[in-house]
Amino acid sequence: MKRTWARTEELLPYALLLPSLIFLTLLILIPMVQALLLAIQADTGELTTRYLERMAIDVNFNDAWRNTLLLIVLIVPLQIVLALAMALLVNSRFKGHQWFLYVYAIPLAISDLAAGILWLAVFTERGYLNTAAQGLGIVDQAKVYLSFENFGGLVAAIVIAESWRATAIVMVILVAGLQLIPRDYFEAADLFGANRLRRTLYVVLPLLRPSLQSALIIRTIFAFQTFAVVLALAGRNMPVIAAEAYNWYANNRDAHLAASYALLLLALTILFTFVYLRVLGLREAEVKR
Amino acid sequence: MSAVAAARSPRMNARTWDRVLIYGGAILLALWVLVPFYLIFLSAFSRPNDVFTYPKPLLPTDLSTETMQTFLGSTGVFASVINSVVVAVLTIVISLAFGAPAGYALARFTFRGRQAVQLVVLATKMFPVAILSIPLAVAFLRLGLYDNVLGVALVHSAMALPFVVLVTAGVFAGVSNELEEAAMTLGCSRLTAFLRVALPLALPGLAAAAIFTFVISWNEVFASSILTLRQRTLPALVLFALQQSPLYFKFAGGFFMVMPAIVFIFFMRRYLLNLWGGR
């Protein structure tokens, strides 16, 4: 009797975990294999590279991966800097800092579609940016920022909207990381006469490295999926990989090409994660934080 | 600032400057976050024709609910809001039913393979799940789950599951195991000890997990758009209508999608750090 009870206790954690693992297998692992098959297997069952080739000669293909990478290169560093500023300010624990943490975190609960629309109100020709710029006498007449001819304007608008929205995730990761640093370290730095800047540079940032690294990885991975904010601000004038996957399925009903783009996205995500882990020399323990 | 440091700085001037810098910076960043909300509020509470006015009024002197009324009265909007809510509620039920036991297991037991499970949770948290909606759409067509709120809720649950596991693990870790053990020595079985002791204490945390799950589902665009045709959720409808719809429709839709976020983040602000920073 006693023995069976101990045995049940031993198996209990596995029984509790099993439903989740089955669920994730059904909804992530198997679809991942199917995405691969959709991209390399014809409906008749034979293996083929024709969908991948078709993707590679697609009119939007080169623009799509170039734009995706361009946006990542512009957005991610900006977010890290902004989020670091927010996190360091919150962590200085001034009176009312919890309220600022809440305000900075609000965009965490906003979709990239909604963020795109919010900034559309700013950047549209009769929008708030032109109103403000003209009111201040910076421009004489309303400018068109979001048009096919103004690639720079489109990129700037998307970068601003995404930095506005997704900085919150980075900020939360960094604040959590800062809280793990014992307060004694700050006081020790103070005692040795370090001012705020030197304390930040030589004490806080090195200790925050693991959090910065995981923020960098998470944000880069998510930035690959940028799509609705692009559609909201630039329409079809700025192809990105995720939007191509969406279009091939939603508008052209072509699951093979959509899956090819999805596979490209997955491959790039995995490649970037791997490169980051390699370049940053992360150990498993650090990634876990 | 610590007492030691305060005592060491003889010039009050430097401290005042320090404060001005901190508050100034904090307020500036807060404005950067808040101003777009204010502007979309102005845009949504106007008249449909106001999108053509220029320069735009920057003060709320001429508010109207006409745009919002037109938006909510447009074909499909009301149904899509209902769909969004149904999908979100289904997502909460599914992901908590699967995730909370897993979170409990991680919080209470040390067992072989624990590390591996944690790694799986971490990997799924970062995994671009939405992309898998393309193969899933093909599979769902066969299973009769395509264009079905349950199909969308399943994908949303896969996205929310790692977060639910993390938050519930944190919540149950915060409920002392000794209380449950005490209940068991007093004659409770493991199940009744859990139901009568641990669960009530964990409820606020579980509610926070539910709220965050709602936010994930309410916001999700890619999977909802791929997996539906007529049973669209609100984001799927707004995305679908993006090319044809007038500006006022977009602004009203944007405001309507954003509104719950502010409220929900407020309710779960205590758990924010568990979601992304947690162990």
CB contact under 8 A, B122 and A86: no
Q: Is the pLDDT of residue A2 over 70?
A: no
pLDDT bracket for residue A145 (50, 70, 90): confident
For the stretch B109-152, pLDDT in tens is 988 889 999 888 888 888 888 889 999 999 999 999 999 999 99
Beta bridge partners of A41: A47
Q: Are B256 and B71 in contact (CB under 8 A)?
A: yes
Task: Provide the strand spans (E) within chain B.
Answer: none
What are the tens digits of pLDDT across the range A16-61? 999 999 999 999 999 999 999 999 998 888 898 889 999 999 889 9
Residue A74 clears pLDDT 90, i.e. is over it: yes
Tell me the C-alpha distance between A223 and A165, whole Å.
12
Q: How far apart are CA A226 and CA A157, in angstroms?
A: 13
> Quick check: B275 pLDDT over 80?
no
Judge whether residue A149 has pLDDT over 80: yes
| Cα A276 to chain centroid, rounded | 15
**pLDDT tier for residue B1 given thresholds of 50, 70 and 90:** very low
Among A83, A102, A124, CA closest to B34: A102
Of A90, A102, A117, the CB nearest to B254: A117
Task: Report yes or no: A81 at the B interface, CB cutoff 8 Å.
Answer: no
| Residue at A114: amino acid letter | A
A83-97, B57-71, B138-152, B236-250: which has the minimum mean pLDDT? B57-71
pLDDT score of B67: 86
- Of B23, B226, B243, which has the smallest distance from its Cβ to A249's Cβ? B226
Q: Does the structural domain B75-276 have CATH classification 1.10.3720.10?
A: yes
- B155 and chain A: CB distance < 8 Å anywhere? yes
Label residue B252 exposed, middle or buried (CB < 10 Å: 0-12, 13-18, 19+).
buried
Q: Which of B134, B161, B249 to mutate to probe the A interface, most A CBs <10 Å? A: B134
Of the candidates B164, B136, B148, B112, the one whose C-alpha atom is nearest the C-alpha of residue B228 is B148
DSSP for A195-262, written as a single string: -HHHHIIIIIHHHHHHHHHHHHHHHHHHHTT--HHHHHHHGGGS--HHHHHHHHHHTT--HHHHHHHH
Chain B stretch 231-250, residues whose beta carbon is closer than 8 A to a beta carbon of chain A? 235, 238-240, 242-243, 247, 250
Q: What is the rounded distance in angstroms from the CA atom of residue A68 to the CA atom of residue B230?
A: 30
The partner residue sitting opposite A176, judged by closest CB among B52, B139, B278, is B278
Residue A158, CB-side half-sphere exposure with 13 Å CA sphere: 32
For residue A58, count CB atoms less than 10 angstroms from its CB and return exposed for 0-12, middle for 13-18, buried for 19 or more.
middle
| Residue B266: predicted pLDDT | 81
Cα–Cα nearest to B219, from A28, A95, A117: A117
Chain B positions touching A196 (Cβ under 8 A) are 18
Residue B12 is predicted with a pLDDT of: 62
Long-range contacts of A9-16 (CB under 8 A, 24+ apart): A10/B111, A12/B105, A12/B109, A12/B190, A13/B105, A13/B108, A13/B109, A13/B111, A13/B114, A14/B105, A14/B111, A14/B113, A16/B101, A16/B102, A16/B104, A16/B105
What sign for the dihedral angle of Cα B258, B263, B264, B266? positive
**CATH class as words, domain A63-287:** mainly alpha
pLDDT above 60 for A110? yes
Q: Is the pLDDT of residue B5 over 60?
A: no
Residue of chain A minimizing CA distance to B18:
A196
ipTM rounded to 2 decimals: 0.87
The rounded distance, in Å, linking the Cα atoms of A51 and A46 is 12
Instruction: Supply the DSSP string of B228-259, one letter for each residue.
Output: -SSS--HHHHHHHTTTTS-HHHHHHHHHHHHH
| C-alpha distances out from residue A108 to A179, A191, A248, B121, Å | 19, 37, 29, 20
CATH 1.10.3720.10 range(s) for chain B read 75-276
User: Is the Cβ pair B135, A289 closer than 8 Å?
Assistant: no
Taking residue A185's Cβ as centre, other Cβ atoms within 10 Å add up to: 13
**A20 and B165 in contact by Cβ < 8 A?**
yes
Residue with more model confidence, B262 or A11 = A11
- Give chain B's count of helices (H) and strands (E): 14, 0
Residue A123's contacts (CB-CB under 8 Å, 6 or more residues apart) are A129, A145, A146, A153, A157, A233
- With beta carbons less than 8 A apart as the criterion, state whether B275 and B166 touch: yes
Calculate what percentage of chain A has a pLDDT beyond 70: 95
Split at pLDDT 50, 70, 90, the class of A161 is very high
Provide φ and ψ at B210, rounded to 5°: -65, -45
Residue spans per domain, chain A? 1-48, 63-287
Q: Which residues of B touch A106 (CB under 8 A)?
A: 33, 37, 261-262, 265
Nearest 5°: the CA angle B247, B256, A72 is 75
Look at residue B191 in the predicted model and tell me its pLDDT: 86
Query: In the numeric block, which tokens belong to residue B65?
Result: 């609910």
